[in-house]
Structures are given as C-alpha cells and as structure tokens.
C-alpha cells in the first residue's frame, strides 16, 4: 500500500468525552469516526486492524472444526416470543417495524435464529455434534455506550453455537472452544486470563469469560499468583482461615461508643484492629430480616449473598425504620450478640474464626468488647459471604489471590437445553425417539479486541501494536522523494521486494517532513520502520527502528530484508 493513495487522517485533538487511552488513540490515529452515540465508522486504517483480528478468529474457529454461516441481523418478533425474550431481554433490544407494521429486532445475539435453523436442518443424531459460527454485526441499545468501540451499540461479534445429543458431548466441545479461545488470544499477542464467571440470568451452569488484563478494564478479576486459577471477583471463593477459632478468654463487656458507628471510627476509638471486629448488616430475607456478618476489614459480596437460601435472590439492605422496629437501635450499632431469635445469623468463614471480638451492642451508642460465638452470639450458618482481597489464599490451595482489572473479550457458555426446549429443536436419537438437543454458545467481541489491545499496548507516542494486529508490519519512510531519484528508486525497489516476499508493508510516499512522518507511524503503531534518505543511500544503508526500541540502527539492504 502507498500512503499517498490511502486515506490516513491522523488528528491532534480529540473530544473530551474520549475518556480512555484506546478511545483517544483510535480517534487520533484516524481508525474510527463517530456517527452517533455508540455508532462508529471504521475508517480504512481501523478496518485493516479489525480485518486482521477477524481473520485470526475465523482461521482458529475453522481449525477447531466449527462451520461458518451468516444469519440475518434483523429477526422477527415471533421467534423471540417463543423463548419469551421479546420482553425479557429488556431495553437493550432495538425493536423495529416494517411497512406492514410487522415487528422485528436488530439482533443483539442469535440463539433464537440459530436454534430455529437447527430445528429445521437437523433431524438425526447422526448429524451431531455440530458447531456453527458467524462473524457479524450486533446491536445492543446499551444504557451507557462509552469508550468508543469498547462498549458500542453496534459492534462486531464472532458468535458460535454448538448442538449435541448429550451433556458429555457438550462438555467436550466447550473445552475445545476454551482451548481455541486461548489460542486466538495468544496468537493476537494479548495478555489474557480465562476467568470463572457467574452463570447469571442466561441459565445454564459452566461459563468462563476471557479477559484482556488492563487497568482501565470494567471488570475486577481475582487470580492466583501460583496457579491458573482465575475468577470474577464476584465468583472468587474466600476460603476458611487455616487456624481454628481460638478459645474465648475475655468477658463480654458493653462499652459506650456515643457517636462511633463505622469500623474506622470504632477501631480508632477502642484502639483495636479492624480484623478483631465483626461487621453486621441486616438484609431483607424471604421471611423477615437476616443478619450477615463479616470481619471488620472485609466487605460483603452481594452476588454471593443473593444466592443464600434465606434471601429472595437479591440482597437488599433493610432501611433504618425496619431496623429500629426490629432491634430498637440505629444501623451503626447492630451486632450478632443478643439479636432476636427470629433473625438468622449468617456468618462469613473468616468472621466465624474470631474470638474475643468487637461488635455492635444492639442499643444506640454502644458496642460489645470480648464477644464470642456460641457463648454470646448465635451462628445459624457459616457461609462464604465476602469479597476476596489481595493476599487471600487461592481456593485451589496454590499461591495467593491477586486482584486485577480486565476487559471481557470472550465468553464461553454451556447453555444446556434452554433454547432447544423452548423452540422444540429435537433430533431422533439412537433408539428412534425425539431428543431435545443440548447447546453451547461462544462469543468473541471482535471489535472490542481492537480497543482492548491498545489499552495493553501504548506509550507516549501512540499505539504499539502486537505484530499480528498491526495495520501494516513495516513502514518505509521516504525522505524528500521528489529531490532525489536514487532515494525514490531505492525505496521503490525495497517496497517491491518486500511485497514479493509477502510482507505487509506500507510505503510512506506522501513527501511529509521526517518529523511529521515519524510521528504518524508511531501514533498508528507500525512495528517496524525503515527510513530511506539521501544520506543513507550515499552510505549504502537504511535506518531501521522497531516501534518498541529506543535507538535506530543502520542496516544494509540485505540486513533489512533478513528481518522479515
Ligand atoms: P458485557 O458484560 O461487557 O456487556 P456481555 O456479557 O453482554 O458483555 P456477551 O453477550 O457474552 O457479552 O457477548 C460476547 C462478547 O461480545 C463479549 O465478551 C464482549 O467482548 C462483546 N461485547 C458485548 N457487548 C459489547 C458492546 N456493547 N460493545 C462491544 N463489544 C461488546
Ligand atoms: Mg452486555
């Protein structure tokens, strides 16, 4: 490609709403341009990167045995009624009408369409297993589209759906996809982790998300520094302390804490550490209030709490009036000692291992010192209730938990029979009976990967692409081409030779000043730069510099060619 014939449009200024570095750099490099909220044009430069990601994803999906197809973006309402998702999918579903007033949505995902396809196409167990995939534009009316293509409304997704006779067979394909995703992100040159995730509302059981690690990531993940263990922070198990609970030594003593309510105020006032305190929250249970207790230095994990049998599937704090009515004191003074019998006390594993602790006195302006489980306070049940913290032992027993931020770029999911049942997608099994198919689904955010890669790979001058994603691998920068025929001839000859060798090369023949040309190539992140100048040609050399290097080197033509 000759840059003089391309549309490269780098800019200096970006709008203030471009909050994160990838959004700013994609705009500055001229990779994307905004049309409206969450809607972007992929300019020629951006599209080159997007296509490279797409090609790697497609190649690895094919290699893994999945079969490509392409489904319509526009999907009829009736199909979404069959799975009851027309209403349930909520505000993200963009609904549209045709000229006859028939209703459609712009597909945010394709479980309905693929299952409709499968019920028509698949009749016999002999056709299974099958994994269909497509790379296609989705629309989700996100509440807060932001960060450019990272959370857009229209975006490119690779989605795959597999069909099986049995859960065992699904499980095999699931791990095949897990391995395939690991290969894809490794090939793209990204630092990533496969993370155990919450199956949430989609139903089904086993699911992993693939996260690119970056400080700007929206998700918090916990991983072990001594093993492959990684989980969403909401999911990560907080294991029980190794030491047994010490025996009670202190007497229970009520102390005045007139205005001290928070853990910080209490620890300062009573000169104790937060690890020696128990924090108690009252939430609304299925049949009345429920007390949740964690150690003073820990936080309740609401996702874990919501799963407790005593709670109605969500964790909602009781308000002040409810608490005063039930206990007779304000929220800051609640503790497990002496709570009414009707309130179950669910205690986190770490809090349950405490003895002689400080907790609320269940009367305004008081706390207890020297409180002890069993002797002074009831435990209805010990459970994993808290958020993991940096340094916790890893749940697999190997290493310690570290916390990091991640960007979700992929998701694999064992769906089970939910969609096949709703749409009656059956095949005839070995014994001639109708058998509902079992399904898996596997998504990759192709366009999000482009932004996520930049979050991980940039410096003060711009993007530093991993080679497999770069718009071009090599840039040939020609200094003053119009002034010197020998310079032009050398550049053209090197350009032609690299082209013959199949190297993805761009010739910067725009005739810009060196400073502007170099700044552009650094901003758009080309991994290798070769400068062809009058001085170099006179000395028989080219100036070479890798994007990650701090110094240039003088190389002969053969040495340059040997690099690629
Ligand atoms: P998120 O939690 O980020 O909203 P999701 O759970 O809704 O993601 P999936 O339905 O699993 O995502 O979609 C598969 C992949 O599509 C995601 O892993 C993500 O990489 C990508 N993706 C989802 N929503 C968007 C979006 N609004 N913009 C760009 N990519 C997206
Ligand atoms: Mg989403």
Note whether residue 285 is domain-resident. Answer: yes
Whether residues 486 and 446 fall in one domain: no
pLDDT tens, residue by residue, 259-272: 999 999 999 999 99
For residue 331, give the CATH number of its domain. Answer: 3.90.960.10
* pLDDT of 203: 46
Ligand nearest to the CA of 211: 1
Whether residues 185 and 42 fall in one domain: yes
Whether residues 232 and 127 fall in one domain: yes
Whether residues 407 and 533 fall in one domain: no
Whether residues 221 and 302 fall in one domain: no
Average pLDDT over residues 409-413: 97
Residue after which a domain boundary falls, among 454, 485, 513? 454
Note whether residue 352 is domain-resident. Answer: yes
Note whether residue 395 is domain-resident. Answer: no
CB 513 within 8 A of CB 543: no
Q: Could you tell me the pLDDT band of residue 285, with boundaries at 50, 70 and 90?
A: very high
Note whether residue 257 is domain-resident. Answer: yes
Whether residues 186 and 331 fall in one domain: no
Q: How far is the CA of 446 from the centre of ligand 2 (A)?
A: 14
Which DSSP string do the residues of 46-60 spell out, in sequence order?
A: HHHHHHHHHHHHHHH
Ligand nearest to the CA of 448: 1
Atom 2 (ligand 1) nearest CA: 408
* pLDDT of 201: 47
Question: Which tokens hold the place of 389?
Answer: 């913290």
Atom 21 (ligand 1) nearest CA: 445
If one residue of 445, 446, 451 were mutated to test the ligand 1 pocket, choosing by the most ligand atoms within 8 A of its CB, it would be: 445
pLDDT tens, residue by residue, 415-471: 999 999 999 999 999 999 999 999 999 999 999 999 999 999 999 999 999 999 999
On the question of pLDDT at 2 being above 90, the answer is yes
pLDDT tens, residue by residue, 183-198: 999 999 999 999 988 7
Question: Which tokens hold the place of 546?
Answer: 């890798």
Measured distance CA(90)–CA(94) in Å, rounded: 9
- Burial class from Cβ neighbours inside 10 Å (0-12, 13-18, 19+) for residue 564 reads middle
Atom 15 (ligand 1) nearest CA: 445
Whether residues 107 and 156 fall in one domain: yes
Average pLDDT over residues 530-534: 96
Measured distance CA(120)–CA(546) in Å, rounded: 54
Question: Which tokens hold the place of 165?
Answer: 């006779």
Q: How far is the CA of 30 from the centre of ligand 2 (A)?
A: 27
Q: How far is the CA of 197 from the centre of ligand 1 (A)?
A: 14
Atom 1 (ligand 1) nearest CA: 408
Q: By three-state DSSP, how is residue 548 classified?
A: coil
Number of domains in the chain: 3
Note whether residue 270 is domain-resident. Answer: yes
Q: Could you tell me the pLDDT band of residue 144, with boundaries at 50, 70 and 90?
A: very high
Q: Could you tell me the pLDDT band of residue 206, with boundaries at 50, 70 and 90?
A: confident
Whether residues 48 and 89 fall in one domain: yes
* pLDDT of 450: 98
Within 63-116, strands assigned E span 67-68, 74-76, 94-97, 103-106
Whether residues 33 and 126 fall in one domain: yes
Residue percentage of the chain with pLDDT more than 90:
95
Measured distance CA(507)–CA(371) in Å, rounded: 76
Whether residues 429 and 522 fall in one domain: no
For residue 168, give the CATH number of its domain. Answer: 3.30.930.10
Measured distance CA(110)–CA(157) in Å, rounded: 11
Chain mean position to CA 262: 33
If one residue of 411, 447, 452 were mutated to test the ligand 1 pocket, choosing by the most ligand atoms within 8 A of its CB, it would be: 411
Within 6 A (CB) of ligand 1 lie 109, 140, 142, 151-152, 155, 157, 408-411, 443, 445, 447-448
Note whether residue 169 is domain-resident. Answer: yes
Residue after which a domain boundary falls, among 354, 383, 412? 383
Average pLDDT over residues 373-400: 96
Whether residues 36 and 162 fall in one domain: yes
Average pLDDT over residues 316-322: 95
Q: How far is the CA of 31 from the centre of ligand 2 (A)?
A: 24
CA atoms within 13 A on the CB side of 239: 15
State the residue for tokens 């750099």: 25
Note whether residue 463 is domain-resident. Answer: no
CB 216 within 8 A of CB 20: yes
Chain mean position to CA 443: 12
Measured distance CA(521)–CA(545) in Å, rounded: 11
Residue after which a domain boundary falls, among 383, 412, 431? 383
Which DSSP string do the residues of 102-152 spell out, in sequence order?
A: -EEEE-S--HHHHHHHHHHH--BGGG-SEEEEEEEEEE---SS-BTGGGB-
Q: Which domain holds residue 488?
A: 472-563
Note whether residue 464 is domain-resident. Answer: no
Distance set, CA 173 to CA 61, 179, 237, 486 (Å): 12, 10, 27, 58
Atom 8 (ligand 1) nearest CA: 408
If one residue of 200, 303, 443 were mutated to test the ligand 1 pocket, choosing by the most ligand atoms within 8 A of its CB, it would be: 443
* pLDDT of 205: 64
Q: Write down the mean pLDDT value for the chain.
A: 95
For residue 510, give the CATH number of its domain. Answer: 3.40.50.800
Ligand nearest to the CA of 155: 1
Of 44-48, 102-106, 136-140, 310-314, least confident by mean pLDDT is 310-314
Whether residues 373 and 441 fall in one domain: no
CB 335 within 8 A of CB 376: no
């Amino acid at each position: 490609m000759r840059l003089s014939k391309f549309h490269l449009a780098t800019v200096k200024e970006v709008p203030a709403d471009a909050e994160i570095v990838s959004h700013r750099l994609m705009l500055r490099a001229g990779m994307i341009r905004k049309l409206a909220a969450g809607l972007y044009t992929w300019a020629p430069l951006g599209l080159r990167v997007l296509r490279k990601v797409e090609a790697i994803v497609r190649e690895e999906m094919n290699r893994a045995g999945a079969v490509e197809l392409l489904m319509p973006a526009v999907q009829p309402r009736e199909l979404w009624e069959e799975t009851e998702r027309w209403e349930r999918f909520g505000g993200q579903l963009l609904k549209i009408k045709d000229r006859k007033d028939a209703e459609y949505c712009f597909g945010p995902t394709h479980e309905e369409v693929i299952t409709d396809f499968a019920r028509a196409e698949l009749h016999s167990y002999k056709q299974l297993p099958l994994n269909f995939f497509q790379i296609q534009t989705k629309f989700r009316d996100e509440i807060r589209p932001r960060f450019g293509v990272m959370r857009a409304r229209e975006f490119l997704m690779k989605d795959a759906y597999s069909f099986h006779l049995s859960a065992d067979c699904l499980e095999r394909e699931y791990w095949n996809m897990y391995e395939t995703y690991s290969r894809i992100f490794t090939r793209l040159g990204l630092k990533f982790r496969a993370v155990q995730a919450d199956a949430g509302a989609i139903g089904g059981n086993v699911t992993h998300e693939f996260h690119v690690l970056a400080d700007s990531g929206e998700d918090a993940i916990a991983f072990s520094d001594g093993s492959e263990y990684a989980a969403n922070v909401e999911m990560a198990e907080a294991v029980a302390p190794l030491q047994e609970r010490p025996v009670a030594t202190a007497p229970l003593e009520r102390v005045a804490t007139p205005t001290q309510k928070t853990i910080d105020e209490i620890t300062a006032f009573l000169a104790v550490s937060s690890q020696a305190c128990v924090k108690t929250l009252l939430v609304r249970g299925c049949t009345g209030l429920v007390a949740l207790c964690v150690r003073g230095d820990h936080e309740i994990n609401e996702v874990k709490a919501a799963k407790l049998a005593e709670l109605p599937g969500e964790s909602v704090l009781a308000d002040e009036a409810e608490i005063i009515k039930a206990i007779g004191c304000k929220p800051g003074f609640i503790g497990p000692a002496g709570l009414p019998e009707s309130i179950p006390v669910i205690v986190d594993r770490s809090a349950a291992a405490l003895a002689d602790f400080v907790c609320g006195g269940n009367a305004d302006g008081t706390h207890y010192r020297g409180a002890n489980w069993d002797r002074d306070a009831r435990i209805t049940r010990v459970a994993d209730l808290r958020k993991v913290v940096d340094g916790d032992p890893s749940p697999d027993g190997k290493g310690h938990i570290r916390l990091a931020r991640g960007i979700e770029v992929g998701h694999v999911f064992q769906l089970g029979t939910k969609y096949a049942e709703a749409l009656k997608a059956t095949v005839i099994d070995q014994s001639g009976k109708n058998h509902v198919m079992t399904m898996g689904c596997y998504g990759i955010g192709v366009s999000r990967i482009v932004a996520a890669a930049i979050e991980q790979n940039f410096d003060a001058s711009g993007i530093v692409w991993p080679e497999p994603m770069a718009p071009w691998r090599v840039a040939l920068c020609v200094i003053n081409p119009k002034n010197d025929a020998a310079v032009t001839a050398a550049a053209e000859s090197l350009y032609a030779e690299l082209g013959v060798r199949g190297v993805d090369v761009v010739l910067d023949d725009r005739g810009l000043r060196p400073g502007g040309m170099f700044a552009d190539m650094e901003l758009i992140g080309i991994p290798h730069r070769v400068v062809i100048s009058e001085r170099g040609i006179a000395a028989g050399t080219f100036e070479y510099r890798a994007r990650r290097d701090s110094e240039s080197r003088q190389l002969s033509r053969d040495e340059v060619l040997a690099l690629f």
